[in-house]
Structure 1
Amino acid sequence: MRHLLVFAEREDAEEVADLVAEEFPGTGTPSVVRETLAGEDDAEDAQWLVIVEDPEEALPAEALARLEDLAEEYEGWREPG
């Protein structure tokens, strides 16, 4: 399973990716990519995604809550991928 953390700013996405890598070393290093989400027409509306891999679906509910909290702290949100 993938968890997507969505941000408007690249700096926020990169900082959160570093935090996720530190707090959840079992997920590896999250990828940071720029992507236009469904329904977005303007390239300026593209969002920065932090992609957290969880292939074994091993992250417990507390970890998922922490991902949501991190996203909210940086004015983003989490979407299951």
Structure 2
Amino acid sequence: MSDVRHVLVLPDRDAAEAVAGALAGRFGTEEEPAVVREALAGDDDAEDAQWLVLVGDEQGRLDAAALDAFAGEWDGWREEP
């Protein structure tokens, strides 16, 4: 088994928290996803930040395209590792 981690990029904290909360219901994930704020390079303004949802997938069973579409429901996307 490999340690697969998906990174979903969201525009704001509310969207990131909504995605994190809805993952288990939509995809049956068991691990609690991590919500992380990432400041954009060179930006000090809190408004200029992306929010990441880190999703563990040790079994490698989550479909990348489905996760991308799911994040898109909140104006986000799945980042390729």
Same structural fold, with TM-score higher than 0.5 when normalized by the shorter chain: yes
Q: Is the 8 A contact 2:67 2:78 kept in 1?
A: yes
Indicate yes or no: 2:50 matched with 1:47.
yes
Identity of aligned residues (%): 46
Query: Amino acid of the residue matched to residue 25 of structure 2?
Result: E
Could you list the runs of 5+ residues in structure 1 that have no partner in the other structure? none
Could you list the runs of 5+ residues in structure 2 that have no partner in the other structure? none
C-alpha RMSD over aligned residues: 1.7
TM-score (norm 1): 0.78
1:18 to 16, 21, 38: 21
| Matched residue, 1:72 | 72
1:58 to 61, 68, 77: 61
Q: How many residues matched? A: 76
The CA distance in 1 between the partners of 2:44 and 2:16, in whole Å, is: 17
User: In proportion to residue count, which structure has more helix?
Assistant: 1
Choose 26-35 or 69-78, whichever is displaced more. 26-35
Deviation, 1:69, is 1.0
